[in-house]
Copies of this chain bind each other. A is one copy, B any other.
Amino acid sequence: MLDADRYLKQAIALARENVERGGRPFGAVLVMDGDIIATGVNGVVETHDPTSHAELVAVRDAALRRRSPILKGAAMYASGHPCPMCLAAMRLAGITDISYAYSNEDGASYGLTSAALYADLRKPFAEQEMSFTYRPVRPEGEEDLYVQWGRMQTG
Instruction: Give chain A's interface residues, CB within 8 Å of chain B.
Output: 4-5, 8-9, 12-13, 15-16, 19, 24-25, 44, 47-51, 56, 59-60, 63-64, 66-71, 79, 81, 83-85, 87-89, 91-93, 95-103, 106-107, 110, 112, 117, 120-122, 129-139, 142, 145-146, 148-150, 152-153
**Shortest distance between the CB of A70 and any CB in chain B (Å):** 7
Contacts of A49 in B (CB 8 A): 60, 63-64, 69
Given known A-B contacts A88-B121, A145-B15, A101 and B135 have beta carbons under 8 A apart: yes
B91 contacts A146, CB within 8 Å? no
Contacts of A15 in B (CB 8 A): 145
A63 contact from B9, B48, B98, B103, Cβ within 8 A: B48
A121 contact from B4, B87, B145, Cβ within 8 A: B87
Contacts of A107 in B (CB 8 A): 146
Mind listing 25 A-B residue pairs with CB under 8 Å?
Answer: A5-B137, A9-B139, A16-B142, A16-B148, A24-B149, A25-B145, A49-B60, A50-B60, A50-B93, A51-B59, A51-B60, A51-B92, A84-B88, A85-B89, A88-B121, A91-B117, A91-B121, A96-B131, A99-B133, A101-B134, A101-B135, A101-B136, A101-B138, A110-B153, A112-B149
